[in-house]
Amino acid sequence: MTRAHIVARQLGLAEGLAECNDKALFKWLVACLLFAKPIQQTIAWQAYKVIVEEHQYDSARKLAACSKAKLVGLLGAAHYVRYDNSTAERLIKLGRKLVDEYDGKVMNIRQQSTDAPAFAQRLLAFAGLGPKAVDIFMRDTARFLFPDTGAR
């Protein structure tokens, strides 16, 4: 049985990604972290909606300032309980690293990357963003972030 893949369009982010809108890129990055775990996609989707849409943790600065206990509670509300502690820690670390090293902007990662593989390598340096999360992220963004290279 094959699993359906979530795409940015389903989260209402496609237009923002096409425009390289930093808020949309950040939201998609958070979604990719959540969807990359071996957890039901409907639960990961609910966690995204609770954290990003309902509680407005939609920027690196907001996420970095959130407490682990608060995020564990939000993940629990979405029934994302199997990896709630580790995911909460990784979300906070994602926000902090993005703030500390890239002024909170995904586009600053792009500006410091010569090409799509270099960008992907920078993403892999974030706690919680493994190859699967980076592949999901790049699948829907590479062609916009690196239009002149024919990136997928």
Segment 111-131, tens digit of pLDDT: 999 999 999 999 999 998 999
Q: What is the pLDDT of residue 128?
A: 87
The CATH number of 8-143, from 1.10.510.10, 1.10.340.30, 3.40.640.10, 3.40.50.720, is 1.10.340.30
Supply the DSSP symbol for 53.
Answer: I
Residue 101 has pLDDT above 80, yes or no: yes
CA–CA gap between residue 75 and residue 78 (Å, rounded): 5
- What six digits make up the tokens of 70? 């608060």
Distances from the Cα of 65 to the Cα of 59, 85, 115, angstroms: 10, 16, 31
| Confidence class for position 1, pLDDT limits 50, 70, 90 | very low
pTM as predicted: 0.92
